[in-house]
Amino acid sequence: MTQALLIGLLAGVGILDERVLGTTLFGRPIVMSMLVGLVLGNVTQGIIIGAQLELIWMGIAGIGASTPPDYVTGGVIGTALALQSGKGIGIALAIAVPVAVLAQALGVLVRIINLYFSHKADQYAQQANFKGIATMLWIPTGLFFLSTFIPAFLSMLIGADNIKAFINSVPQVILDGLTVAGNLLPAIGFALLLDMIFSKKLFVFFFLGFLAAEYFKINITGIALIAICLAIIITIYQHNDNKKNNVASDEQTEDEDNLTEGDIHIE
């Protein structure tokens, strides 16, 4: 019961990131999974699972009115049930992704309900009822908290032992398939991220980093340092080119001005 309550509280506070707490990154999988591991007594495995989930969801962003998958609920429940079952990261990925999609629908429902309180706050604003406005702002916050607290709490309360029995009853070939599918999900996450940032002018740098890692066996820190050096070099050359262009433009403008100041005399 205590662990279920703590896991629910973690999920509830995590969903408030970027809503009430500002952008603290507290709700990211790498943080939440580590805290779940801390609660369940396996921090190392929690960090490993969180890193894999981060690869999947690093490119997720709510653009406009779109609602992305709820990676907070999915990450917390997936990590918690994987640690409880002791079946490893494959189960965590297989559970976290569908749970995040299902929780997305719950998040949409909460947003629809919150519209009522938004309009009610407008009415209180017209009446200069500041206490009513504050109340209408805190109720949606509480609904967001409950939308993640309740699923995480119930999944731990109901599924701690049941999930072990269920997973143990699943044939090993299916578990192996889920593990393989889960290992492919980070590649999908990278593909979604590249789809947003891919540029014809910059794609060569992506392949340069890939070649450095694959053929020259340079680790990610070394590649990052090389990328920083390349960025500085490119910035210096661009600055010098812009400076030369500005000087040339000033000289051309001065010559044009001199031509209009009587250097050419027409009789």
Q: What end-to-end distance do the CA atoms of the chain give, in Å?
A: 103
Q: Report the C-alpha gap between 3 and 209 in whole angstroms.
A: 43
Tens digits of per-residue pLDDT, 52-83?
778 777 766 655 555 667 778 888 887 887 77
pLDDT value at 93 more than 50? yes
Domain ranges of the chain: 2-198, 199-267
pLDDT value at 43 more than 70? yes
Q: Count Cβ neighbours within 10 Å for each residue of 112-151 and write b for 16 or more, e otherwise.
A: eebeebeeebeebeeeeeeeebeebeebbeeebbbbbbeb
In 3D, which of 167, 155, 181 has the Cα closest to residue 73? 155
pLDDT score recorded for residue 210: 81
Q: What is the mean pLDDT of the chain?
A: 74
pLDDT score recorded for residue 266: 47
Q: What is the DSSP letter of 133?
A: H
pLDDT score recorded for residue 240: 74
Q: What are phi and psi of 16, to 5 degrees?
A: -80, -10
Q: Which band of pLDDT confidence, cut at 50, 70 and 90, is reported for residue 261?
A: very low
pLDDT value at 142 more than 80? yes
Tens digits of per-residue pLDDT, 181-237?
655 656 666 666 666 666 777 778 878 888 888 888 888 888 888 888 888 988 888
Q: Which band of pLDDT confidence, cut at 50, 70 and 90, is reported for residue 264?
A: very low
Whether 45 contacts 90, CB under 8 Å:
no
pLDDT score recorded for residue 262: 46
Helices 203-214 and 220-259 pack at an angle, to 10 degrees, of 150
Q: Report the C-alpha gap between 32 and 42 in whole angstroms.
A: 13
